[in-house]
Amino acid sequence: MNHIVSLKWLLARLYESDLVIVDCRFQMGKGQENAGREAYEASHIPGAVYLDLEKDLSAPVDADGHGGRHPLPDAAQLTGTFSRVGIGNTSRVVAYDDQGGAMASRLWWLLKYLGHDQVFVLDQGFAAWRDAGFPVNAEQQVRIPAPFLAEVRHSMLAEVDDVRELLGTDQATLIDSREPARYRGEVEPLDKAAGHIPGAINRFWKDALDERGGWRDENAQAARFAGLAQDAPLIVYCGSGVTATPNVLALQEAGYTNVRLYAGSWSDWISYEENPIAVGDEENPKDE
């Protein structure tokens, strides 16, 4: 796998000088905002730094709701954050969480978006590392800031206007990464309206993982998206732009080359009253 590293791979390189390990644990939900940091402070992979989904990897929510529940940070601000924790242009970065790779994939995508390719997600996450008997501690090392020069890859991002223009056309396929009941509009625990963007197909992001919580290989990922040509334009979204990123990673593992993230996702889409909403199942994707 190109973007996933194993527990043993990281163990063998744990103290290499160019490696930056980032703990991305974060619990969604009211009252859980500090749970990830508290877990990090209690125990983490040696040398790991902590980056918080909402404080470090997202911008503040806009008062009018536009941009979604986890808006993208300003590129300059994000570059400063990475530099502060020791991530430079020559760093190798390994991100982990305990949420199936969702938060780690958010960091993976953000670094890719800023032009940094040497970034990976740790297979299975922290609990598997700890349960394997690999080293953990509670020490918080002081990191020396590293120079980080961003080269923003705008082609990785889709905005609300891009999605609007594609509605009713065959110019791109929208992939909704949320659980099926949310996609169909049967339940909506987080956002003000239920349903999905018209024309979107549903590929639940957790299906990228196997029964042990590890990432499926490239062949299994490709099977999840069967029927879509590998060079087909794809736009992936979820509720707020976080759990879509594991699907972006899975698509890249499977060889798809034209994948964009709608970062604002469903929470941004429904912030515009004029945007249409669909419920129920959509047709299967076209055959190649």
HSE-CB for 51 with a 13 A CA cutoff: 30
Active site residue 24: no
Cβ contact 73:113 at 8 Å: no
Q: How far is 87 from 148, CA to CA, in rounded Å?
A: 7
Alpha-helical (H) ranges within the chain are 7-12, 35-42, 75-84, 102-113, 126-131, 160-166, 180-184, 218-224, 245-253, 265-269
Residue with the two structure tokens 């994000």: 78
Q: Give the chain's end-to-end CA distance (angstroms, integer).
A: 25
**Residue 154 β-bridge partners:** none
Catalytic residue among 49, 238, 244, 259: 238
Q: How far is 29 from 169, CA to CA, in rounded Å?
A: 36
Which residues 6+ apart lie within 8 Å of 260 measured at CB?
A: 155, 156, 157, 158, 162, 233, 234, 235, 236
For residue 84, count CB atoms less than 10 angstroms from its CB and return exposed for 0-12, middle for 13-18, buried for 19 or more: middle
**Torsion-angle region of 55 (φ positive above 0: left; ψ -120 to 50: alpha; else: beta):** alpha
Cα 68 off chain centre by? 14
Positions marked catalytic:
238
